[in-house]
Chains A and B, each alone.
Chain A
């Protein structure tokens, strides 16, 4: 209650409800981005976006160049996959993805060549701040879209939705505002933060290109107020551009589309699964994706590397590493971050609020992984489920105004229709309810399981009828 009052008085942009987890960004927020080039084999999965997985377009044991397309599929919801280093491929294998449920898919192993695996001065060109000569309007919108598709860009905030499809103009559903998401509300993660500090000009150019492609008039960059240096850098870079910087309250889940749009624009996005930001004329793009757009369109550079925050008390040297897609967690953690400490008990692909755990370090970094958090026993929560005492905190803190306890109860008793009556499908799985629950009921886990079960039941039903 006090926190809510303080937030009202602060005048910062915010949404209703939500929680205030510890930030814990100090481990890595001042660590400059470093290039990491693995020497061991990469594993490049064919499924790194929402939609059907790509098919390999190269033969096994083929020498391939950096940036060469190695996987693609002819489907609207897809993005091609590039060789992230120069090297030699091998037979396709099956790998576990660092995602919820340990999904498995085909992956192409890539042995990096000993010399020149990565283009020269790659870090300098990635963080190149000289974009003055670029005139976004000289590109045709279709050209931008084509180049974004060719660059293999997907939403880097974690949802991995193909960016080109999001920005493609649709005459029936015009877009008036482009919202750049630099909230990075997940505790621990600092990848977007560092990129905003170290290459704000690239982000602004990407924003201009995306705005032009989508046909939006307004462009807003939303940042949480706990990143003053990023706000400063972007403000400086945005001079001369028609860009607004929206400073938001530091609150979880500020970076969720359904929270960020009401916070910044005051518009209400219709409930999931059918409602989209597009319904209210908004497209939300992550800042890292915007940077990728600038590189893909202006410099014809494909999406091969991304900044990954390796952090947590379980690693010896937390930092932000520019990592090629397909690098194994084990190599990134061992070689770049100094390895895990003996107390490390949990490894997350992402931050602690929504990041799924990985069972071992044999999984590759994929396009949607913005961080690896290695947690020790003391910094993780320990759950001992006790009966619900109906305190109502999950309801009071749910940013989507759902009743998590009721949904979870219904799912516990396998009453999926009842769970749907309480709008189970609208849940964004942000985890505020689990975080706040004094009875330590893993509410988000129940709801996730329920949604999954419901999906399986629907598919079965369709198959039988």
Chain B
């Protein structure tokens, strides 16, 4: 199938009448766009830089420590998995484990113990990816599997947020600190709109700044790395849902802008819901997937026991992906082939 193997040893070409000089035989096309899995993963990491930069400003050292810990955990699990399955280590270098680790780190609270983060990265790759057969075969988003594992094992650590240096400087009470969503669920005072957009609030490592997530996300969409369908459907559904809830009970629920800019919404819409493997491949399937995640996030936020539900929403929709794909198989341009 690959002519590269032939290129290495042209003398062994299986041609009977190659004449004085044989040429490579391969199936067209003979050109390629030059995209590789590695390159795609690199672009995703590049798009995460604004978020990382903001996390550095907000959470200082813990941003670096947590990110390094999750990535190290993810890479370790990937390498171990390859060793156990007697595969070559190429999947370590394709960057997918690094992306998984980074996404997991960005969805963890900054005060988390790095050992837990390392464990989360390992479990995410091991149970979320390796057991299904490695890259491309996992049913669930590995980063979210890792986070779910941490959520089960260390529930208290995953929901405790302490204010950081930039915030205490701005006069935030140093002993208690609530995320915007927690505040909304408990009917407390909400942070200002500009704080939500910028990210001057409590929250997970990469989730506080909506604007940084938007910049990175738009980069991915424009570069064609991420599909526009999941984020659009997701944000639209969640926004409409939140706005309707706000109209029905204005005192209990803040409006659409609050929900779209708080918690994991913006980050998740562009970086988690656009994850290739767990989402459907069909255009309509991706719209349904995005809308489903948006709906579930809002249901959990408004009616669930947790203030944030992005992880659950993604995992539930991941499990529905095969069904969605089945019903959204595209019709060929000229109609179904007649039997």
Contact = CB atoms under 8 A, between A and B. Distances in A.
Given A353-B28, A377-B7, A390-B136, A401 B33 contact: no
Contacts of B36: 438, 440
Interface of B: 1-4, 7, 10, 13, 15, 17-19, 21-37, 39-40, 90, 94, 96, 134-137, 221-222, 224, 227-228, 276-277, 279, 281-283, 286, 329-338
B32 A360 contact: no
A377 to B, nearest CB: 7
A449 B279 CA distance: 28
Contact of A396 (B222, B277, B283, B331): B283
A437 B281 CA distance: 13
Contacts of A422: 329
Contacts, number: 212
Interface of A: 1-2, 16, 19, 21-22, 96, 100, 187, 258, 262, 268-275, 344-348, 350, 352-362, 373, 375, 377, 379-393, 395-396, 399-403, 405-406, 420, 422-423, 425-426, 431, 434-440, 442, 444-445, 448
A359 B23 contact: yes
B32 A435 contact: yes
A390 B277 contact: yes
Across the A-B interface, the 4 shortest Cβ-Cβ residue pairs: A381-B32, A431-B29, A271-B334, A445-B27
Contact of B30 (A270, A346, A436): A346
A356 B19 contact: no
B222 A1 contact: yes
A346 B276 contact: no
Nearest to B321: A390
A348 B337 CA distance: 31
Contact of A438 (B1, B25, B39, B277): B39
Most chain A beta-carbon contacts within 10 A, residue among B7, B277, B281: B281
A348 B28 contact: yes
A250 to B, nearest CB: 15
A444 B29 contact: yes
Contact of A22 (B10, B22, B31, B222): B31
Contact of B28 (A275, A355, A425): A355
13 contacts: A100-B27, A359-B22, A360-B17, A361-B21, A380-B31, A386-B90, A396-B227, A405-B281, A426-B332, A437-B32, A438-B35, A442-B2, A445-B1
Most chain A beta-carbon contacts within 10 A, residue among B13, B30, B40, B228: B30
Given A386-B94, A389-B277, A271 B33 contact: no
B14 to A, nearest CB: 9
Given A1-B224, A274-B338, A395 B330 contact: yes
Contacts of B18: 359-360
A12 B286 CA distance: 29
Contacts of A420: 337
